[in-house]
Structure 1
Amino acid sequence: MDKFLLQQQVLQRLAEDLQQTEAAARAAHETATHEENIAENKYDTLGLEAAYLATGQARRAEAIREAMAQWRQFRPPAYDASKGIQIGALVCLVDADDRQQQLFLGPLGGSMKLVSGDQIVQVISSEAPLGRALLGKCEGDEVSLQIASARQTFEVLRVH
């Protein structure tokens, strides 16, 4: 699996998300400033609500731009077993039911599922609970994660 191609897919998906978010922000701004939405009394809050929505969408767009900048600068290093799993690692985990999952540990803002060949790759950051648990682990190590009242345990099968 090619990390560079995965990185390009992440950037493409982020660009698509940015377009959608910017369009939503423009629509909310137009609604907020449209003359028909001027408040006639204290209970008429459509314009105010649209303004809050536009602000939130603008913040989301900025977060996506920051994530894109991080992903553009990101250069996934080769796996070094002496350091264990680091950002940039492509990891294959197996659970107690023998189900495997592929993870690509990347910078912030890239939490998504990608398709590479016939495999699904989950992109996570080191800030995600599973990402934090993986840092420093090596092939054959066990990773345990508490999610609500359930404990999940995985074995690190392969790292690239």
Structure 2
Amino acid sequence: MDKFLLQQQVLERLAEDLMQAEQAARTAHETATHEENIAENKYDTLGLEAAYLATGQARRAEAIRQSIANWRQFRPLPYDASKGIQLGALVCLTDADDNQQHLFLGPFGGSMKLASGDQPVQVISSEAPLGRALLGKCEGDEVAIEVAPTRQQFEVLWVQ
């Protein structure tokens, strides 16, 4: 699995998300400012609701822009066993049922599922519960997280 290609996939997906958020913000702004949506009484709130929606979509677009900037600056380093898992690590975990999952630990804002060949890879940030639990771990270590009332345990099979 190539970390650079995974990073490019994240950037492409974020660019698509940004286009959708910007289009949604434009549409909501046009709805909010359209002459047919001028409030005729205090109960006529379509224009006001559209304005709130436009503001929310603009904030979402800005958050995606920040994520894109973070991912563009991100330089995943090779795994160093003396430091353990760090940002940029590609990790294979197994659970108690021997189900494997591949994770790519990246900067905030890129949580998504990608494919590396025919292998699914979950992108998570170090701020996610599992991402935090992985930091500093090495091959063979066990990792546990609490999800609602359930405790999940994994073993680190390999790290790149």
TM-score, structure 2 as length reference: 0.99
Equivalences for residues 41-80 of structure 1 within 5 A: 41-80=41-80
Equivalences for residues 91-106 of structure 1 within 5 A: 91-106=91-106
1:150 equivalent in alignment to 2:154 = no
Secondary structure at the aligned position of 1:109 is classed as coil
2:144 aligned partner, one-letter code: S
Distance 2:56 2:50 in 1: 10
CA displacement 1:102-154 (0-9 Å, x = unmatched): 00000010000001101000000001010000000000000000000100000
Equivalences for residues 9-158 of structure 1 within 5 A: 9-158=9-158
Distance 2:115 2:86 in 1: 22
1:142 aligned partner, one-letter code: E
CA displacement 1:44-64 (0-9 Å, x = unmatched): 000000000000000000000
- Give unpaired runs (5+ residues) of structure 1: none
Number of residue-to-residue matches in the alignment: 160
**How many percent identity over aligned positions?**
83
2:6 aligned partner, one-letter code: L
2:143 aligned partner, one-letter code: V
CA displacement 1:39-93 (0-9 Å, x = unmatched): 0111100000000000000000000000000100110001000000000000000
TM-score, structure 1 as length reference: 0.99
How far residue 27 of structure 1 moved from its aligned partner, in angstroms, is 0.2
Runs of 4+ in 1 over 4 A off after TM superposition: none
- Give unpaired runs (5+ residues) of structure 2: none
How far residue 9 of structure 1 moved from its aligned partner, in angstroms, is 0.2
CA RMSD, aligned part only? 0.4
1:128 aligned partner, one-letter code: A
Distance 1:135 1:71 in 2: 19
